[in-house]
Structure 1
Amino acid sequence: MTGANRPSGRPEGAAPGWKVALALVSLALSLLLWLNGLIDSLSRPSVGNDLNRRQLELAVLAEPELSGPLRNVLAGRNPTETLRQAIADELQEAREAGRTPDPDLLLEQALLLRRQGQRQASDALLAELASGSGPQADVARALLEPEPVAGGVPNAALIGALPPGGLLRTWSCEALAPGPDCGAAGASRQAALQLIAVSVLPVALLVVGSGTLLRELWQRWRGKTADVPPLQGPSLSGLDAVLLIAGGFVVVGELLTPLLVGPLIAGLLQQLEVTSPLREGISVVSLYLALMTGPLLILALMLRGKGEAGWLQFRWSPLGLNVRQALKGLLMVLPLVSLVGWLQGQLWGDPGGSNPLLELVLNSHNVPALACFGFTAVVLAPLFEETIFRGALLPVAGRKLGAAGGILLSGAVFAVAHLSLGELLPLLVLGIGLGWVRWSSGRLGSCVLMHALWNGLTFANLVVLGW
């Protein structure tokens, strides 16, 4: 019986009408959700200001430990004045936007002005802060008292309630209970090491990465690179890929899962009386595990019965080869992402819209919470996203568009799926780099490791700056 005369009236090999309709509806919903998410990201605060200020705080705290040319290179000519202006700009921006100023910033600016001899301006900020509540307000009220409490025990308790480490606690201690117990020398040495870690090491990686990239381009131009293995992937159709990404990743994962599972997780944590910041850590890892379940289940159903045709080409063995390919890809993409980010900053400034997880990591001093954030960023996200974007989407798109088209399309979808307009171009370059590793190595495992290394470096940088 020919396809035209089949009882269903559908040509042989054609997809069922319901499947086409479901794909079109999912695609339309995804485009609307993504467009709305990208626009909304512009209203989210950027973590960039916090990162710059944290680095300035380290520079001010580390300045006594630095000398000679190293001092100017790492700390700048006048880090204290630069920090004062940065905090003033942040406070003014918050007031203009109608937000309550960050009490840490108010107290830090008041302490800075006091150290510079501007007592009247300092007391005005302390009075504003003292009208509120919290450990910062308690410190402000103690500083405004005409005479400190004898013995200094209450003051020590006030200092202990502030976030651990860093400039704020050191300056508060010196203002309330000056003496060797403040540990200024030790804090300065630690800040110097932190400053080196977030300043020197990234530059070294950029230099090595630029050399690695130039070497790879030179070898390819001379035709001395190894042959590229065949691009293998699951035997899915373009319609399957649309259903997986639009229906599974976006509609089920990004829309329905937070709506249905989010309140259940929040209610359970409330019943268990889990407090912040551990509550946020458990919420992030639990919600991400739930988000993964729908798309991966859909992919498993699509691959059921396909045997070797559904192989995702992880190829974890030998592990050493995967690690080397991941490191090479990471080093090569670092200067490219940095260049694109710098150009975007010059042309556009800071559009905001950072991933909320970045701020959670930066401001958390709770080790179990950080462990939850780190597990999500370094383990779960690379495994899940690489399975979807480079394991399934790239090979399917590559069969239709060629290797370059598949790499570009998978990178573009990967970038848009993060719903951050300000990070769109850097994420696109990262996605293209991950796709290139998948194509050139023939190993999805190398992509997972490269993604994990990228997220791990970002996570480590945030922890070093925020601790």
Structure 2
Amino acid sequence: MSSSSRQVSPRWKLFLAALSLLLAGAIWLSGLVDSLTRPSVSPSLTLQQQELSLLAQPAVPPSLQPVLLGGDPREALLQALEGSSPADRNDRQQLLLGLLQSDQEPPVVENRWLTDPLIRRLICERQPSSVDGCVDADVASAAAWRLAVSGLLPLLTVLLGSLLLLVQIVRALRGRLQPWPAVDGPALSLIDVVLLVAGGFVVISAVGVPLVALPLVASFTAGLESPRREAVTVVINYSVMALPSLFILWRQLKALPRAQAPKGGWLQWRWRPWPGAISSAVGGWLMVTPVVVATGWLLVRLVGDPGGSNPLLELVLGSQDPLALVLLGLTAVVLAPLFEEIIFRGALLPVLAKRWGTAVGVVLSALLFAMAHISIGELAPLTVLGIGLALVRVSTGRLLPSVLMHALWNAITFLNLLVL
């Protein structure tokens, strides 16, 4: 028993752990149900892709158009806009719809839209003169490159990742994989990690901190304009919400006998060698990508788009402010991977693995990781991603590769949104 366990009555710790579990379960269940009412980011992504296809069409060779564009991008965009609810269309989408409907009178266009390349081209094409001079070659070429990056790179990633995954499966079946190191980590009890995850990560961070932090953040960002205000709010809220869990973990680790810590420390960061950490992170990212993509595809085919996308995705898609994008990128690529990997793969996974075995520890920590994002639509794909991150942590015996893999996953997702 750790010194922290001796300072507090085991009955009180058990009571606090049980109460934390009850409250965390209620918070997560309520959040998952509420996420069903949040819109999915998929329609926005589809519209962005169709707009990009229409812009790029003049610069794409006819032989490549079936691959990059699919069908007629103009007709696809028109059908998507007509199929959306009028209440869900913003002013720009309503204007695009009016310009694409050739059987309707062209709408009145405000001056603020004349810098938009797609709107400017559609206005030109509605004029009685020839449409040949309406295409901006530079804009079309840039759109074609963006379309190629957003479409072909994910496809290549899935193909390469599938190949690597197949190679690993064959090597495993032939018994050629190196044995995994023992799962080392902090010598915490199940009650300790319940207090850490349920009490610190969920109850205090998700409920108590926002009650205190949100009014302060709102007053601090009152003078900022949107979307910069939202981006600053995201960074501050996420940083403040991470503090209780990190403080609890710090106190728990400080109470453990330092002499009993395994080589590399309780969290097993093991910073060196860097090349091995990077190669493990890249390999894990490549191999988990096709599985996550397949899981998302199967989910849509079975139940449709469940909605509940991460609000951060909508902020990135809707923002053109450089500082806002930098702040959102900092949260997604640096803060989130560090914090979440320390909690779920640094502390939780080793305790569960030592208690119930590696397989159970990997799956259970991944499921809790997915539930912590409180998004019903992303629950299955994030569970698969969590399994991939946990396998990298277990197979390398290090926390650093899983942090780098998590950061790489978020960075690629973020860059894909920026490309669109």
TM-score by length of 1: 0.84
Q: Say if 1:58 and 1:166, in contact at 8 Å, map to a contact too.
A: no
* Structure 2 counterpart of 1:325: 280
Q: Which runs of 4+ in 1 moved over 4 A?
A: 11-15, 172-176, 178-183
- Quote the Cα distance in structure 2 between the aligned partners of 1:432 and 1:24: 26
Structure 2 CA distance for partners of 1:208 and 1:26, relative to 1, 3 Å: same
| Residue 27 in structure 1 maps to residue 21 in structure 2 | yes
Kindly report which structure 2 residues correspond to 1:238-277, keeping only aligned pairs within 5 A, or say none.
238-270=190-222, 273-277=223-227
Kindly report which structure 2 residues correspond to 1:285-304, keeping only aligned pairs within 5 A, or say none.
285-304=235-254
* Structure 2 counterpart of 1:119: 104
- The structure 1 residue matched to 2:181, chosen from 224, 229, 239, is 229
| Alpha-carbon shift at residue 181 of structure 1 (Å) | 11
* Structure 2 counterpart of 1:132: none
Q: Deviations over 1:191-235 (max 9, x none)?
A: 100100110010001110000000011111111111211111011
- Quote the Cα distance in structure 2 between the aligned partners of 1:202 and 1:293: 35
| Alpha-carbon shift at residue 100 of structure 1 (Å) | 5.8
Q: Say if 1:322 and 1:446, in contact at 8 Å, map to a contact too.
A: yes
* Structure 1 counterpart of 2:93: 105
* Structure 1 counterpart of 2:234: 284
Q: Say if 1:170 and 1:187, in contact at 8 Å, map to a contact too.
A: no
| Alpha-carbon shift at residue 305 of structure 1 (Å) | 3.6
* Structure 2 counterpart of 1:3: none
* Structure 2 counterpart of 1:433: 388
| Residue 65 in structure 1 maps to residue 59 in structure 2 | yes
Structure 2 CA distance for partners of 1:410 and 1:188, relative to 1, 3 Å: same
- Quote the Cα distance in structure 1 between the aligned partners of 2:338 and 2:282: 17
| Residue 343 in structure 1 maps to residue 337 in structure 2 | no
- Quote the Cα distance in structure 2 between the aligned partners of 1:253 and 1:422: 23
Kindly report which structure 2 residues correspond to 1:125-164, keeping only aligned pairs within 5 A, or say none.
126=107, 140=108, 155=111, 159-160=114-115
Structure 2 CA distance for partners of 1:372 and 1:169, relative to 1, 3 Å: farther
Kindly report which structure 2 residues correspond to 1:313-462, keeping only aligned pairs within 5 A, or say none.
313-462=268-417
- Quote the Cα distance in structure 2 between the aligned partners of 1:25 and 1:428: 25
| Alpha-carbon shift at residue 19 of structure 1 (Å) | 1.1
Q: Say if 2:38 and 2:309, in contact at 8 Å, map to a contact too.
A: yes
Q: Say if 2:58 and 2:135, in contact at 8 Å, map to a contact too.
A: no
* Structure 2 counterpart of 1:88: 82
- Quote the Cα distance in structure 1 between the aligned partners of 2:35 and 2:308: 4
- Quote the Cα distance in structure 2 between the aligned partners of 1:293 and 1:335: 34
- The structure 2 residue matched to 1:167, chosen from 118, 137, 141, is 118
| Letter paired with 1:195 | L
Deviates more, 1:307-316 or 1:414-423: 307-316
Is the partner of 1:304 in helix, strand or coil?
helix
Q: Say if 1:159 and 1:173, in contact at 8 Å, map to a contact too.
A: no
- The structure 2 residue matched to 1:46, chosen from 34, 40, 48, is 40
- Quote the Cα distance in structure 1 between the aligned partners of 2:120 and 2:187: 58
| Letter paired with 1:106 | Q
| Letter paired with 2:89 | P
| Letter paired with 1:438 | R
Deviates more, 1:305-314 or 1:364-373: 305-314
| Letter paired with 2:136 | A
| Letter paired with 2:142 | Q
- Quote the Cα distance in structure 1 between the aligned partners of 2:250 and 2:306: 38
- Quote the Cα distance in structure 2 between the aligned partners of 1:321 and 1:158: 50
Q: Deviations over 1:28-72 (max 9, x none)?
A: 000000000001111000000011111111111111111233111
Q: Deviations over 1:237-295 (max 9, x none)?
A: 0000100000000011111122210111111111xx21111111111111110011110
- Quote the Cα distance in structure 1 between the aligned partners of 2:267 and 2:144: 45
Structure 2 CA distance for partners of 1:336 and 1:111, relative to 1, 3 Å: same
- Quote the Cα distance in structure 2 between the aligned partners of 1:118 and 1:277: 36
Structure 2 unaligned blocks of 5 or more: none
- The structure 2 residue matched to 1:188, chosen from 134, 140, 153, is 140
Structure 2 CA distance for partners of 1:398 and 1:108, relative to 1, 3 Å: same
| Letter paired with 2:178 | A
| Alpha-carbon shift at residue 167 of structure 1 (Å) | 2.5
| Letter paired with 2:104 | R
| Alpha-carbon shift at residue 101 of structure 1 (Å) | 3.4
| Alpha-carbon shift at residue 311 of structure 1 (Å) | 1.3
- Quote the Cα distance in structure 1 between the aligned partners of 2:269 and 2:120: 48
Structure possessing the higher radius of gyration over alpha carbons: 1
Amino-acid identity (%): 45
Is the partner of 1:119 in helix, strand or coil?
coil
| Letter paired with 1:303 | L
| Letter paired with 2:419 | V
TM-score by length of 2: 0.93
| Letter paired with 1:108 | L
Structure 2 CA distance for partners of 1:394 and 1:119, relative to 1, 3 Å: same
